[in-house]
Chains A and B, each alone.
Chain A
Amino acid sequence: MTHERRLAIVALILAAGAAVVGSPFSGGRAVGAVELQALARAASAGEDRVSSFELARWIRDGGAADRTLRVVDLRSREAFEDFTLPRGEWIPLDSLVRTPPDPETRLVLVSADGALAAQAWVLAQLAGHRNAWVLEGGALGWIREVLTPVVPAVLPDAERELWEELIELTRYYGGEPRRAEDPDEPIPAPAAPRDPDALVELLVQEGRDRGCGW
């Protein structure tokens, strides 16, 4: 028997064994090792989500031609047609999993109140898509915080710039801010938006610290 024939037989035996075994993942695991602690840390530290204010700024700053950001709306078709966020694309969760987007694209996941989007975020991390965030508060949060935000009757000096930017963004998206009726009512200022590249860098550094080859 020639050397080549022996190798062919060995290859066939290994391949036949593979067909019997079926899955290359021992224990039938369908996904790879997941750094659960890292995911839990990211979720606890708020690195898994973006506020409506941040998203509003990202969309405005990126412009219509920005292909690096996608706003994925996971709600029902009816809810999506009823109200669509700027740059919103209707992609049901099973379609998103079946045909995942380019891992280099930044994804903001939107559901009605954020719960389904949070589940989608975990699935995105499992699929290796690090540049994904949940829109905090979901579509309802966008309406509440960007289209109809409540702003202080008198803008405090310390946070004037943030409030003015929020008001400007509200009008940019066709909304109208509501002034608080009680001038003494304390209204928390919106958190300063984070730079999206810095957010990605946070996650990438997290990965480097864990020894991941990102």
Chain B
Amino acid sequence: MSPSAEFVGTLAPSSAFGLAFLVGVGFGWFLERGGMGNARKLAAQFYGTDMAVLKVMFSAILTAMLGLFWLSWLGVADLSAMFVPGTWLLPQAVGGILFGAGFVICGLCPGTSCVAASSGKMDGVAVIGGMLAGVLLFAELLPLIEPLYEATPLGPLTLPELFGVSYGVVVLGITVMALVAFRVAERIEARLR
């Protein structure tokens, strides 16, 4: 049962998808307004001269995390209905490294490439093409890399389970970490600009 369906009552699955589409459009709009469709701005994150990506994304994480925690506590949303994807430590680490390398090279990630493409930037279109080619290549190579793909399965793993603390303590920890990161990011920006 999707939390959105719970929230609005008897929302049919097709309507829930329509709502998801609107949420997606809103998400893209906020990314574009925040400058996340600009490859130079995104790449600058890795050089420390513009930490906008960290600030925008961490702000979004804080908003969603605090919002969902309290909405769930109030009974408006059902946090436990949310699907938590499994953790496969080694392949996800390898994938993360590949993703990071691609991000620095292109200056865009999959989401922001769609933002860039929709605002008329051809580099966004090129990254989308590369992403789809990568998806196809992965599908073709899967039989070869399957041992890596399925290595180190840990199942759905959450931070509260990993550290043996309550959800609320993890929420506080991440909030403090984010606020410290914002302050450090501004100091790095000031030094490297």
Contact = CB atoms under 8 A, between A and B. Distances in A.
A91 B70 CA distance: 36
Nearest to B66: A14
A30 B72 CA distance: 12
A211 B83 CA distance: 16
A24 B13 contact: no
A32 B154 contact: no
Interface residues on A, range: 35 or more
Contacts, number: 106
Contacts of A22: 166-169
A11 B66 contact: yes
Q: What is the interface of chain A mostly: helix, strand, loop, or mixed? A: loop
A210 to B, nearest CB: 7
B73 to A, nearest CB: 5
Contacts of B169: 19, 22
22 contacts: A11-B66, A11-B175, A12-B175, A14-B66, A14-B69, A15-B176, A16-B172, A18-B69, A19-B166, A19-B168, A19-B172, A23-B167, A24-B70, A25-B72, A25-B73, A26-B72, A31-B80, A32-B78, A99-B154, A210-B1, A211-B11, A211-B12
Interface of B: 1-2, 5-6, 10-13, 16, 62, 66, 68-70, 72-75, 78-81, 83, 86, 153-156, 166-169, 171-172, 174-176, 178-179, 182
